[in-house]
A and B are shown apart, each in its own frame.
Chain A
Amino acid sequence: MQHSALADALRLVEPTRPGEAGAYRHYSLGAAYDEMFTPDGDVRPCYAELNRSIAQISSEELKRRQQACELSFLHQGITFTVYGDNQSTERIIPTDLLPRIIAGAEWARLEAGLKQRILALNLFLHDIYSDGRVLRDGLVPRALIYGSKHYRREMRGLSVPRGAYVNVCGTDLVRREDGKFVVLEDNLRVPSGVSYMLANRDVVRRAFPTIFRTAGVRAIEHYPQDLLATLKSLAAFQDDVSIVVLSPGVFNSAYFEHAFLARQMGVEVVEGRDLVVNDNVVYARTTSGLKRVDVIYRRIDDDFVDPLAFRAESTLGVPGVFNAYRAGNVVIANAPGTGVADDKAVYAYVPRLIRYYLSEEPILENVETFLCREAKSLSHVLGNLDKLVVKAVGESGGYGMLVGPHATRAEREAFAERLKADPENYIAQPTIQLSTAPCFIDGEIEPRHVDLRPFILHGEETRIAPGALTRVALKRGSLVVNSSQGGGSKDTWVLNQ
């Protein structure tokens, strides 16, 4: 007994290092930047407090807390449904107990960069839906915009409240080998995941109550209030603004989030069938009759919003809502047509757009991107297919994609033909080693690759909750963080210091 107490005490004084006996015996540092350890195996300052706690908690205790987290998700119904042969089962998106930690100073830089970016993107959207100055000046090719399937002609010449097209944005960032955060993707349509940011925080706060205080973690719980304030600021009148969350309904995989945000904001979740439009005014059907709606936070894709304006077969939308929007009688957030700016090809232009609209240098870099529509880039891509990831511009979710280093020679050759036939449809990027962070896997602490999705709100001002959704590739060595492909998530701490 005495011996083990002494051992514990020693462990406290000198926490183990990666790869050595102790809590990190299965932790090996690779080529990727590690969030917790320097390449020499020293703990980075922002992880010091967590490291001290890990040294004090037994592996069994960690396991118990991990299970408590998972059970809590299940009971809250934070699940997605997997349909089997004759019975459907509900699974949780795995959540990892160990938080990902970002130092205060580093966050300040990210925050400034994200604010700059959303400002430029909103100016860009305003420009292409009005004068088209950026197109006239030849900075962005017209064909790229007018040819995009996310360009909404119906939005031309329409003035949106405060010029804010994108009100809720979820930007995906990754940390490169050199430790720099770079932007991988802007999600400007209906970004999701913020409920996981808040739910992860909720369970992790209960799992590590004491270090939470000592580490100086910044609060994110006010996100729903900020969202409400942002949506309210878009309304034409500020008294008694009626706000709703428009959801596709309970069968949508993000339904939990829609209900969660509505509950936290104190507003209603509605489905298309709950709304009616009369004389260009939108109403909700209530038990007491029809009640006017002023702001719609839409969580359905813009082409489904109104069967009269966009896809006629949509049953999720509200017939006539787009005309009510044009008439200024209702606000739709995000505005229809924002998808044109988070297209993979437009993404490559964002640093130039920041310089163009703001006359500033971009604070956050993009991942190096080759636009195959530019002849020089195309020849570079064709010559280096084995090192690059090539993506089709209009697709998402990994469709129409070639991962060069993992493809066979035949696959690369076939893809090269497609590329040459339609270069405008493709971009290429080098493969990036996403940074790694400690995760609790089967009772051991091991490194796994992670990304970062902070959420930016933009109304009368720009607000960013100091936190994010950190997605984790739970399979050893995997770089794919998508929940559909074995990804999980974890709480993200932004420290005061």
Chain B
Amino acid sequence: MLSRVADNLYWMSRYLERAEHTSRLIAVKLEAMIEQSREDSEASWRRVVACLSSEPHIPSGPVDPFLVSQALAFDRFNPSSLITSLRLARDNGRQVREQISTEMWNRLNRLYLKLAPLNLATVWNEQPAHIFREIVEELHTLEGTAYSTMRHGEAWHFLELGRYIERAQLVSRVLEIHFGPASHSGSALNYLDWVVLLRFCTAFEAYCKVYTANIRRDRIAEFLLFDADFPHSVRFAVERISEALGRVAKGAPAARRAACERLAGRLKASVDFGQIEDLMGGTIDAFLANVRAQCEQIHEAVYTAYIGYDAETVL
């Protein structure tokens, strides 16, 4: 596969994952607001903003849910807004239009064309969460469309790689905000905040199946970090990263492949054998920061090995 194509597929997938995550966080937060006190709601909005690393794009002063949602979702100048992510996903998809299936492209294109002219104010007064739920659904459909219409060859594995590197980082970030120093949360988190955290990761129902509805801080951390079978756990994402790396660039020289696989294997070992009891004493934020840093290293290694390599070195 062309290196440029791999680059476009990888980033298309990362941006789609980011768009879905952003949309879901806003939807969950808007739905939860109804049951939260004013202070709790405000603190929880600040956590959402921090999870999405969008602090510089939020108006200062007391939180206005409309303005925050607008900035997180539809601010074209916010590089991590929902609409920016979708636009970049589509731009990348357009450049590899011949690599992805027509069904996939049409769905992505339609979603973007529907959202690009949308004014949040016109849908805000009815059910503000509705549009964000709908976007999450559309993106799930797109994922399913991709799964069943695209050949699961190298292109597919670059999509997987992008999706799960992004997911591992996003989920780690969400956990850092909720388990890190109290400065993030402002006050101690209550029951509803923990339920909201699970919902941010579509994990509430899955968590209850494993641990019953007994909502406990350490179990939530354990589930979102180390559950082997839940698609939004860090461990699950890392497993997929490692698997995808084993299946891209089959023809590349062994030395270049090894550099990537070594890093992925190291990360995989740390989440496969990690114990939540060891982390709850206060080292969890260091552990999470390390997961994010290792994802970054894997990204760099993939670029060096397969995408941005110097042609002179391989002739």
Contact = CB atoms under 8 A, between A and B. Distances in A.
A binds B: yes
Interface of A: 74-77, 90, 249-250, 255-256, 259-260, 262-263, 268-271, 273-274, 276, 278, 283-290
A285 B303 CA distance: 13
B250 interface: yes
B311 A285 contact: yes
Given A76-B106, A288-B250, 18 more contacts: A77-B94, A77-B105, A250-B94, A255-B94, A259-B94, A260-B98, A263-B97, A263-B99, A268-B5, A269-B97, A273-B4, A278-B311, A285-B309, A287-B3, A288-B1, A288-B251, A288-B252, A290-B315
B311 A77 contact: no
Contacts of B210: none
Nearest to A72: B106
A259 B101 CA distance: 12
Interface in B66-82: none
B91 A274 contact: no
Q: How large is the interface on B (under 10, 10 to 19, 20 to 34, 35 or more residues)?
A: 20 to 34
A274 B94 contact: no
Given A270-B2, A274-B4, A287 B252 contact: yes
A262 B99 CA distance: 9
B97 A256 contact: yes
A152 B102 CA distance: 40
9 contacts: A75-B113, A76-B105, A250-B95, A255-B94, A260-B97, A263-B97, A287-B306, A288-B252, A290-B315
Given A268-B98, A269-B98, A287 B311 contact: no
A269 B95 CA distance: 9
| Residues of A contacting B: mostly | mixed
Interface in B97-122: 97-99, 102, 105-106, 109-110, 113
Q: Which of A256, A259, A273, A286 has the most CB of B within 10 A?
A: A286
B98 A263 contact: yes
Given A77-B109, A273-B4, A287-B306, A278 B315 contact: yes
Contact of A287 (B94, B106, B307, B315): B307
Main secondary structure of the interface of B (DSSP, over half): helix
Contacts of B97: 77, 256, 259-260, 263, 269
A90 B117 CA distance: 12
Given A285-B3, A287-B252, A289-B251, A76 B306 contact: no
Contacts of B314: 289-290
Interface string B247-263: 01111110000000000
A256 B97 CA distance: 8
B98 A274 contact: no
B222 interface: no
B19 to A, nearest CB: 18
A409 B233 CA distance: 79
Contact of B4 (A74, A262, A263, A271): A271
Contacts of B4: 270-271, 273-274, 285
A288 B154 CA distance: 11
A75 B307 CA distance: 30
Interface string B225-266: 000000000000000000000001111110000000000000
B200 to A, nearest CB: 31
A250 to B, nearest CB: 5
B135 interface: no
B91 A76 contact: no
A288 B248 CA distance: 9
B291 interface: no
Contacts of B99: 263
Contacts of A287: 1-3, 6, 154, 248-249, 252, 306-307
Given A285-B2, A290-B311, A76 B109 contact: yes
B136 to A, nearest CB: 21
A269 B98 CA distance: 8
A96 B28 CA distance: 45
B233 to A, nearest CB: 28
Contacts of A269: 97-98
A297 to B, nearest CB: 13
Nearest 9 Cβ contacts at the A-B interface: A288-B251, A263-B98, A259-B97, A287-B249, A287-B306, A262-B98, A259-B98, A276-B311, A285-B3
Nearest to A77: B109
Interface centre among A255, A259, A273 (most CB of B within 10 A): A259
Nearest to A285: B3
Contacts of B251: 286, 288-289
Contacts of A274: 2-4
Q: Give the interface centre of A76, A270, A283 by most chain B CB atoms within 10 Å.
A: A76
B94 A76 contact: no
A486 B271 CA distance: 60
Q: Which of B1, B250, B307 has the most CB of A within 10 A?
A: B1
Greatest chain B CB density within 10 A among A74, A77, A263 is at A77
Nearest to B305: A287
Q: Which of A278, A287, A290 has the most CB of B within 10 A?
A: A287
A90 B113 CA distance: 9
B225 to A, nearest CB: 31
Nearest to A273: B4
Contacts of B102: 76
B311 A268 contact: no
Q: Which residue, A74, A75, A249, A274, has most C-beta atoms of chain B within 10 A?
A: A75
Interface in B39-72: none
Interface string B1-45: 111111000000000000000000000000000000000000000
Nearest to A279: B315
Contact of A289 (B91, B105, B154, B252): B252
B105 to A, nearest CB: 7
Nearest to A259: B97
Interface string B158-179: 0000000000000000000000
Contact of A286 (B1, B109, B110): B1
Nearest to B3: A285
A75 B106 CA distance: 5
B194 to A, nearest CB: 41
A256 B99 CA distance: 13
